């Protein structure tokens, strides 16, 4: 785990600091997305609020994480896959928000279907956010 974190930071020419390591740990520890508030709460005693903001901003710029738009307009962040680079995102995968447990996950295995745009429109990025019940919550 620690090696993976070091590698991510090195690859992006970022120095290895407490807050960066801790925040990456949080992302690696669980499969879903994290709200800014979640991160702040889980690191609040160790790092300043401002540091969390700045760290997430750096991760966003470097393409280590991406933000997820949700129907209730809260801000979520999730780890990007390996093929994301600076200013160059491959995050046109599907995001799934469970209405029951509230978890948000990236469904990497689901590909976004081609969408036919009207004449004159050119797309650069397609974000799909699906609300519903996740596989854990449909069992009950």
Partner DNA sequence: TTTATTTTGCAACAAAGTTGCATCTGTGTA
Partner DNA sequence: TACACAGATGCAACTTTGTTGCAAAATAAA
Least distance from DNA to the Cβ atom of residue 67, Å: 10
Least distance from DNA to the Cβ atom of residue 122, Å: 28
Are 96 and 107 in contact, with CB atoms under 8 Å apart? yes
17 binding partner (options DNA, a second copy, none; Cβ < 5 to 8 Å by kind): DNA
Among 1, 4, 30, 53, binds DNA (CB under 7 A): 53
Residue 9's alpha-carbon distances to 5, 36, 89, 136, in angstroms, are: 6, 20, 17, 33
Among 25, 26, 38, 58, binds DNA (CB under 7 A): 58
Token readout for 72 is 């209730």
Residue 29's alpha-carbon distances to 26, 106, 136, in angstroms, are: 5, 15, 18
Return the number of the residue (4 or 71) whose C-beta is nearest a second copy: 71
Site for a second copy in 90-109 (CB under 8 A): 94, 96, 99, 107, 109
Among 18, 37, 102, 132, binds a second copy (CB under 8 A): 132
Token readout for 6 is 């070091």
Q: Is 26 in the site for a second copy (CB under 8 A)?
A: no
Among 55, 66, 95, 104, binds DNA (CB under 7 A): 55
Are 8 and 24 in contact, with CB atoms under 8 Å apart? yes
Least distance from DNA to the Cβ atom of residue 49, Å: 6
| Residue found by looking up tokens 């799909």 in the block | 128
Least distance from a second copy to the Cβ atom of residue 22, Å: 23
What backbone torsions phi and psi does residue 128 show, to the nearest 5 degrees? Answer: -120, 125
In this structure, the chain runs to a length of 140
């Amino acid at each position: 785990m620690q090696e993976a974190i070091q590698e991510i930071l090195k690859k992006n020419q970022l120095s290895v600091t407490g807050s960066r390591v801790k925040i990456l740990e949080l992302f690696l520890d669980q499969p879903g997305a994290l709200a800014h508030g979640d991160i702040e709460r889980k690191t609040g005693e160790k790092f300043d609020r401002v540091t969390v903001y700045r760290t997430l901003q750096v991760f966003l710029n470097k393409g280590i994480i991406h933000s997820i738009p949700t129907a209730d307009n809260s801000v979520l962040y999730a780890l990007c896959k390996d093929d994301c680079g600076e200013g160059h995102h491959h995050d046109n995968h599907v995001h799934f928000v469970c209405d029951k447990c509230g978890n948000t996950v990236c469904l990497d295995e689901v590909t976004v279907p081609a969408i036919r745009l009207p004449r004159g429109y050119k797309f650069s990025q397609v974000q799909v956010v699906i609300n519903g019940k996740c596989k854990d919550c449909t069992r009950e």
